[in-house]
């Protein structure tokens, strides 16, 4: 039973950075799909705009900007940061780990623990659970959680199933121990039998990069084109997975937390697409006004989408204390949920790079 609970640990501050380069989805067309296709996809997915990092800008650059903003806003003494976590599936290099490079860039001490977490849409919640676990030990004072993605570069622009969905962004969060924070609960899950639902087949060590793996080819009867080093997604099965597993996980978590699933202040789900998210919310019978979304502006930014939604939509809404549900699901398949109290959380203005 991968259930965790904590008390007296929480998020002190949260910030986000996105590329200034804005893509208008209705105008995002290429030779393969017409205006009508873009219109159909936008109306169903609810994604009107996305941000694309220009060449040379990495997920880590977005996280770095978000972190600088947050550390300044919170007036944090950098010597108190004992762990820096970097969550991404689009790191700077295959090695070394990007978190280590960020330790140096951010001017953190050499006595800072640093490592990367390679998970997708579930990863912010996983990352929080790791940060909370370290903070439970007396020796760690503050954790800097960095979560960034340049998903726009993962998929083929000529694959209609994914070309209109993904965008880029980065966030930073500071976590610490403080008696003012209430109870928090986590549920963590994985199912590798569904590895083929969302995947990049080649370019790792199982199937190394070659002339063949970067060659684009038509992959289906709809005329979608991609290479083996592009990501693909089986949207129908992902949808099946979500409506099957997520309600079960949330029930399990709410029982563990002894909390009525319908009594919380806000429900922040991974921003996949509005069709799927709306259906999930309806199935869970959660009031729509408690479910903020940022899909329309930023699309699906993988693990970044939950904290990005908080920064974008809840900055002015959060009161002194808020009980929130966070739920991320996707590539792996991997999914994780949390019920926690957000108390006095400093949310910085969004940074554009």
Partner 1 sequence: MEEKFIKAFKEALELEDRTIDLTDTFRDYEEWDSLGHLSLIAILDEEFGVVIEQAEFNKLSTVGELMVEVKKRMV
Q: Tell me if 40 contacts partner 1 by CB under 8 A.
A: yes
Active site amino acids? 121, 270, 300
Cβ at position 233, least distance to partner 1 in Å: 10
Which residue stretches of 74-189 are H helix?
98-105, 123-136
Residues 9 and 27: their CA atoms lie apart, in Å, by 45
Q: How many residues sit in the footprint of partner 1 (CB under 8 A)?
A: 18
CA–CA gap between residue 320 and residue 12 (Å, rounded): 12
What is the CB-side half-sphere exposure of residue 183 using CA atoms within 13 A? 8
The continuous run of DSSP H or E covering 327 comes out as strand 321-330
Binding segment toward partner 1, per CB under 8 A, in 68-76, 130-138, 207-215, 276-284: 276-284
> What is 54-65 written as a DSSP string?
PTT--HHHHHHH
Choose which of 279, 317, 349, 352 interacts with partner 1 (CB under 8 A): 279
Which one, 11 or 295, has the nearer CB to partner 1? 295
Distance of closest approach, residue 43 Cβ to partner 1, in angstroms: 9
User: Does 283 participate in binding partner 1 (rule CB under 8 A)?
Assistant: yes
| Residue 189: closest CA among 129, 276, 257, 260 | 129
For residues 189 and 224, which CB has a smaller minimum distance to partner 1 in the complex?
A: 224
Q: Is residue 93 part of the contact set for partner 1 (CB under 8 A)? A: no
**Cβ closer to partner 1: 40 or 265?**
40
Q: What span, in angstroms and rounded, lies between the C-alpha atoms of 228 and 271?
A: 25
CB of 161 to partner 1, least distance (A): 6
For residue 187, how many other CB atoms are within 10 A of its CB? 24
CB nearer partner 1, residue 41 or residue 71: 41
Report the C-alpha gap between 142 and 85 in whole angstroms: 11
264: its two tokens:
């919380």
DSSP strand pairing (321-330 vs 266-269): parallel
Shortest distance in whole angstroms from residue 28 CB to partner 1: 17
- Per CB under 8 A, which region of 51-59, 109-117, 120-128, 273-281 contacts partner 1? 273-281
Decide whether 41 or 85 has the Cβ nearer to partner 1.
41
Contact letters (x/-) for partner 1, 197-236, by CB under 8 A?
-------------------------x-----------xxx
Q: At closest approach, how far in Å is the CB of 36 from partner 1?
A: 12
Q: What are phi and psi of 84, to 5 degrees?
A: -120, 125
Structure tokens at 261: 């699933």
Provide, rounded to whole angstroms, the least separation between the CB of residue 323 and partner 1: 28
Q: Is the dihedral of CA 40, 169, 306, 155 positive or negative?
A: positive
Please report which helix (H) or strand (E) contains residue 131, including its range: helix 123-136
Binding of partner 1 at residue 244 (CB under 8 A)?
A: yes
Which is closer to partner 1, CB of 40 or CB of 92? Answer: 40
* Number of alpha carbons in the 13 Å side-chain half-sphere of residue 61: 13
Question: Using the 8-state DSSP alphabet, how is residue 165 labeled?
Answer: T
Binding string, residues 150-169; x marks residues near partner 1 by CB under 8 A? ----------xx--------
Q: Give min distance, CB of 318 to partner 1, in A.
A: 32
Q: Tokens for 237?
A: 């099965």
Task: Tell me which residues touch partner 1 (CB under 8 A).
Answer: 40-41, 44, 160-161, 222, 234-237, 239-240, 243-244, 275-276, 279, 283
């Amino acid at each position: 039973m991968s259930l965790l609970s904590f008390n007296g640990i929480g998020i002190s501050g949260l910030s986000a950075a996105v590329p200034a380069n804005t893509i208008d989805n209705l105008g995002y067309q290429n030779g393969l799909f017409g205006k009508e296709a873009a219109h159909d996809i936008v109306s169903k997915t609810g994604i009107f705009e996305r941000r694309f990092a220009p060449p040379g800008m990495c997920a880590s650059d977005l996280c770095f900007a978000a972190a600088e903003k947050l550390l300044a806003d919170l007036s944090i003494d950098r010597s108190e940061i004992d762990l820096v976590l970097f969550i991404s599936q689009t790191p700077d290099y295959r090695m070394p780990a990007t978190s280590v490079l960020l330790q140096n860039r951010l001017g953190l001490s050499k006595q800072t623990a640093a490592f990367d977490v390679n998970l997708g849409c579930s990863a912010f919640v996983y990352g929080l659970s790791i940060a909370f676990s370290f903070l439970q030990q007396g020796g760690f004072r503050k954790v800097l959680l960095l979560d960034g993605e340049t998903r726009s570069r993962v998929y083929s622009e000529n694959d209609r199933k994914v070309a209109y969905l993904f965008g880029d962004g980065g966030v930073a969060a500071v976590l610490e121990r403080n008696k003012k924070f209430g109870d928090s609960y986590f549920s963590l899950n994985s199912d590798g039998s569904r590895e083929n639902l969302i995947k990049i087949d080649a370019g790792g060590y199982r199937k190394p990069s070659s002339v063949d793996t970067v060659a684009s080819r038509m992959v289906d009867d709809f005329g979608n084109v991609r290479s083996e080093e592009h990501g693909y997604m089986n949207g129908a099965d992902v949808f099946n997975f979500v409506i099957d597993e997520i309600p079960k996980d949330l029930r399990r978590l709410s029982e563990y937390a002894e909390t009525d699933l319908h009594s919380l202040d806000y429900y922040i789900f991974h921003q996949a697409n509005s069709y799927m998210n709306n259906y999930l919310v309806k199935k869970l019978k959660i009031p729509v006004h408690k479910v903020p979304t940022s899909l329309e502006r930023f699309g699906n930014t993988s693990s970044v989408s939950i904290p990005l939604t908080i920064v974008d939509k809840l900055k002015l809404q959060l009161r002194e204390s808020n009980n929130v549900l966070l739920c991320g699901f996707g590539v792996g398949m991997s999914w994780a949920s949390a019920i926690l109290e957000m108390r006095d959380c400093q949310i910085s203005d969004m940074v554009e790079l």
